[in-house]
Structure 1
Amino acid sequence: MLDYVLIALAVLALAGVVFEEVIHVNKAKTTLFFGTLAWILLFIDASAAQLPLVQESLEHNITEISSLWLFLVAAMTFVAYLNRKGLIENMLNLIMPGKISLKKLLFATALFSFCFSSLADNITATLVSVALVLSLGLPLNQTLRFAVLVVFAVNSGGVSLITGDVTTLMIFLEGKVTITQLLVLILPSFVAVMLLATCLSFGLSGVVKIRKVHHQTNPVDYVIAAAFLLTIVCTLLGNVFFAIPPMLSFLAGMAVMFLIATFMGEEKDDDPILDYIRLIEFDTLLFFLGVLLLVGMLQHIEALDALLQIYSLFDPIYANLIMGILSSMIDNVPLTAALLKANITMTTTQWMGLTYAVGVGGSLLVIGSAAGIVTMSKVKGLTFATYSKFSALLLLAYLAGYGMVLVVSPLAL
């Protein structure tokens, strides 16, 4: 009986996010409330024999959440500093012409987000890409198109590299695919992004004047920008070669940033470097906390395992496609973990299809990926409802990319 109550709480939390504009309650408040309430009910209902298992599950859930939280704090602090100092806008001045058509700008944004997310993690790539979009000062209806494209492009860019997406790394570590086979996913992922950009470009016209306001910067700002890039590179290399958690590498990078500001003598009493932590969006972090508590609860009561029945009803090609769509409502990491634990027998082509599906499928809903949640917190006017207006185009691009994966995957075998 309790399991049905807990699932109902998860549905209510999702409804709170969907109807945020109607009920006028911040999504962070609803998800955090239902997430904590669900675990409290689990403890109350647990018998003496079950209590240690509930405690262990919660501690495992909190460990995963804290790793994400600390990583986000470090990444957001870096971006907050670079944005406040004007380095992001200065970079835009260098790479963008004085005038550019909206259509060309849209494709340039897609290309930048796709490529950058292949090098950096999705959250960092989203923060930088969204900052670039917002600096353009476009009207809301145009900004929404760019924001939706950023979410899809960021999620697509990391799917072909083990350093670009956690689920890709999980499937690789299980020996289901090789690095060279994953590289084949670059082509369908890129084509899907360009297809979405083409669809979003219809109706766009005119020329955008790039405001080239040069911000005065200090040498320390460039050193910290270099430290940020070095942190990204070290995070990737450290994770691949030494299995160093990305959270640890980024915290170390943030500490280096603090030390740079201190020892270069640029820290002022009215602008202390530690204060930049206060500029990050804590409502986003609280929303993450609530969502991941709910996902952890669903995993504990084995509600996610019921999804595995899809593979007994459909061929793996279609089941993987459905799993990608479901990943827009359920965190793709526990979903992928459940699939791997179930030891489902699939061909390499089908595993590559699943890799694409769970990596890109989260883009279909704004709450389905970290990129979507971060973008929603940064772009005023981007809500569950406004993002959903683009669902048909997102689904079209997702289906096109998935279909192309099935076509090109045999070439890598």
Structure 2
Amino acid sequence: MNTPVVVLGIPLDFVLFALTLLGVAIFHRQTLGIALAGLASITLYKLIFAGFKTGPGLLGLTLHLEHEWVTLANLFLLLMGFALLSAHFEKSGIPDEMPALLPDDWKGPVVLLVLVFALSSFLDNIAAALIGGMVARHVFRGKVHIGYLAAIVAASNAGGSGSVVGDTTTTMMWIAGVGPLSVVEAYVAAGTALLLFAVPASIQQQNFSPIMKDPPRGLKIEWVRVGIVAAILIAALAANITANTNYPALLDKLPLLGLTVWAVLLLTAPIRQPDWGLMPSTLKGTVFLLALVTAASMMPVEQLPAASWQTALGLGFVSAGFDNIPLTALALKQGGYDWGFLAYAVGFGGSMMWFGSSAGVALTNMFPEGKSVYLWLRFGWHVGIAYFLGFFVMLALIGWHPDPIR
């Protein structure tokens, strides 16, 4: 029989998870160990006292992991695979050519953020963030400001929020029967937010390390690697659209996107070897994210407040610390939301913390100096303000039009 423990009216599950996030925030050099210790303590508590949504004890844990394994496997495969993709992109020579295409002043970083936003509308936001980070590392001579890192993550998440193929949460909505046009309105808020955070973040970056004015001479683009990157992205996009359109049940049984990415990586390996040396460091960041996602999935959030624009706004802030996938699943089950608002909130909200989205974890694997909640909030202040104001611009221009509860 389950006997949940409550501390000052708060379930102990939430207390343990909050302590885990607090530990990550304070001791950002030991994030992996803290996340694993937090997951272990939450799992042990659920086994002994509270039980899982799927039942008590080991059987409940087994059923819970059976329910979550596709999501976790997809995240693992995508984070690991897109790290290799970004290395292919770096070695292609395109990032070195970018200074010739970007303006020489603070408007150059702005244009790069707009490109990341556009890429994320039809690619996975992890890939868009890593490509943006790779270009930034080259055009800013390896010195990327933490405020600008936050902006790259925000641009990738904002760009995916209005497209059913741009983010896992919007894809979930599509699978559940929400029409693609129902989430497109999220671009009103996302575009507003982009305008609000892109300028201060770009000025931060230009003051920190100005954009390179001209590319080095004698550069050559390696088109074979460009073709491999394109093949991976096209295959992932095609697999996502085909499965959602014709075989939606398959997405609940197999980590299709991750398997597709790795299939192309391995098939093209004889042509150009991936940078396998990236795997150990990428694995640490990936395991960290999976530990937090797994812990978040165990939280007793079975009942959300009544669907309203206020709830949707709050879910954006919640998604900065909690995994947005179970939050989206609960909102879909509850119904009564305006899906464009929800897509923007849970898609963009995670940008306010470096571990609040897969794109943030992937990018900070590339730039470890970003793994500090204090520095992320201090220098990425414009992301939170942009989220809040973008939401209310959308509310004023479009209004809250919820779907009937299904």
TM-score w.r.t. structure 1 length? Answer: 0.82
> Residues 38 and 62 of structure 1: is their aligned pair in 2 closer, same or farther, counting only changes over 3 Å?
farther
Cα contact 2:317–2:350 (8 A) shared by 1 = yes
Match of 1:143 among 138, 145, 151: 145
Distance 2:242 2:99 in 1: 33
Instruction: Report matched runs for 1:385-400 at 5 Å.
Output: 385-390=374-379, 392-400=381-389
- In the other structure, the counterpart of 2:267 is 259
Query: Which residue of the partner structure matches residue 278 of structure 1?
Result: 279
Which of 161, 175, 199 aligns to 2:163? It is 161
Contact 2:235-2:261 at 8 Å conserved across structures: yes
The answer to whether 1:319 aligns with 2:282 is no
User: Identity, % of aligned pairs?
Assistant: 22
Equivalent pair of 1:331/1:368 in contact (CA under 8 Å): yes
CA distance in 2, matches of 1:37, 1:163: 36
Aligned 1:38-187 pairs, distance under 5 A = 38-45=42-49, 50-51=56-57, 52-83=59-90, 86-87=91-92, 90-97=93-100, 100-138=103-141, 140=143, 143-175=145-177, 177-187=178-188
**Are 1:122 and 1:155, in contact at CA under 8 Å, matched by a contact in 2?**
yes
- Tell me the distance in 1 between the aligned counterparts of 2:70 and 2:171: 19
On the 8 A contact 2:348/2:387 being kept in 1, the answer is yes
The correspondence of residues 365-404 of structure 1 with structure 2, limited to 5 A, is 365-382=353-370, 383-390=372-379, 392-404=381-393
Question: Is the CA contact (8 Å cut-off) linking 1:181 and 1:412 kept in structure 2?
Answer: no
What are the Cα deviations for residues 286-313 of structure 1, in whole angstroms up to 9, with x where unaligned?
1112102211221xxx2x235x23x3xx
Matched to 2:390, the amino acid is G
Alpha-carbon separation, structure 1, partners of 2:283 and 2:373: 19
Whole-angstrom distance in 1 between the partners of 2:373 and 2:87: 25
The answer on whether the counterparts of 2:95 and 2:134 sit within 8 Å (CA) in structure 1 is no
TM-score where L is the length of structure 2 = 0.83
**Residue 390 to residue 143, structure 1, CA distance change in 2 (3 Å):** closer
Asked if structure 1 preserves the Cα contact closer than 8 Å seen for 2:76 and 2:286, the reply is yes
2:20 to 13, 17, 28: 13
Cα pair 2:75 2:258 within 8 Å, conserved = no
Give me the CA root mean square deviation. 3.1
In structure 2, the CA distance between the partners of 1:15 and 1:202, relative to structure 1 (3 Å rule), is: same
Corresponding residue pairs, total: 383
How many Å separate the matches in 2 of 1:5 and 1:182?
35
Could you say if the C-alpha distance between residues 328 and 411 of structure 1 is closer, same or farther in structure 2, counting changes exceeding 3 Å? Answer: closer
Rounded to whole Å, the distance in 2 between the matches of 1:227 and 1:124 is: 13
